[in-house]
Amino acid sequence: MSGPLEGIKIVELAGIGPAPYACMLLADAGADILRVDRPVRGAPQTDTGPYWDLLNRSRRSVAVDLKRPEGVETVLDLVSGADALIEGFRPGVAERLGLGPEVCLERNERLVYGRMTGWGQDGPLAQSAGHDIDYIALAGALWPIGRAGEAPVPPLNLVGDFGGGGMMLAFGVSAALLAAQRSGKGQVVDAAMVDGAASLMTMTFAFRALGLWTDGRGCNTLDSGAHFYEVYETADGKWFAVGAIEPQFYDTMLKLVGLDAADLPAENDRSTWPDMKERFATIFKQKTRDEWSELFAGTDGCGAPVLSPWEAHEHPHNRKRGTFVEVDGIIQPGPVPRFGRTPAVVSRPPSRPGADTDEALSDWGISDERIAGLREVGAIG
């Protein structure tokens, strides 16, 4: 292992989406995370190719049946020697399993207990089902995303699941770990996607308070209203993005596209934005995406080619920085952020559920005799 979290031990109760993403970030940063998966029933898997779930990289998996008391007790033993536990169940599920925060903190008072939900641990919607689109809708983060006169556009599941969810959980757990080191006391971290998505909107609230953001959709600087912060189709049917907000960058962009600021209306005259967008659209149709990319490269014109996820790893800048890595034959985004002294790494490809049960339990202090006994009663897989 390497990274700034080397030596930190975390138990992860396997889930989907944001909680695994938080654990991926923490594991890439060096934490020893043990993912507790459900045992796989039926015939063993015969696929020997790379396991697909990249969110589960950099950590090992043990298969434990949490419906058996022996399985629950095994997890509590792991908790006794852990710095944190992370779960992403609906409120109350961990408690019903016998692995709620009260029980776990009684076993280990220094434990940081990280919880990931959509609506939070309390509130009228706490027990309701939902997905990213629902959480960001209620947070006020979905409404502004889209073009004028059109419906809001879901930004994949980046804002709720991963930005407002997984990253906030990773931040919260890291902060609580620091507090536990100073105080000797753990605590519960209640990370909710609706809260996190709302937090991501803080700057928009500031702009509105300053009168810089109107209530319409697609008519503001950052929401496709402005001609200088927009995506334009190029001659080859691809796309090029410009984001020249500041006056000096705007002037540079104008020169690159062959325009003179003296012949144009003021940059922030909103009444002229629609006409300027049409003019820019005509200009950008005159060159291919790669031609525009070459023209803007290395300048302060604030322009970049719109790359697909599958070609982004080929861009020279991303290659130089190692933004993407190849692990077990699969290209994927690399660890973030960068650490100068203790670099984060993808320490291992994702393990299939239960693939590391014996080895990992032994490393975490469970005796071979007990492992054999747990397998005999069906508590581990």
Q: Which residues are catalytic?
A: 131, 161
Q: What is the 3-state secondary structure (H, E, C) of 301-339?
A: CCEEECCCCCCHHHCHHHHHHCCEEEECCEEEECCCCCC
The two structure tokens encoding residue 97: 């399993």
Quick check: helix, strand or coil at residue 331?
A: strand
Task: Report strand pairing: 187-192 vs 9-13.
Answer: unpaired
Give the whole-angstrom CA distance, residue 195 versus residue 187: 19
Give the whole-angstrom CA distance, residue 335 versus residue 59: 14
Give the whole-angstrom CA distance, residue 210 versus residue 39: 55
In eight-state DSSP terms, residue 380 is B
Maximum Cα interatomic distance, the chain, rounded to a whole number of Å = 83
Give the whole-angstrom CA distance, residue 167 versus residue 53: 18
Task: Report strand pairing: 303-305 vs 239-243.
Answer: antiparallel
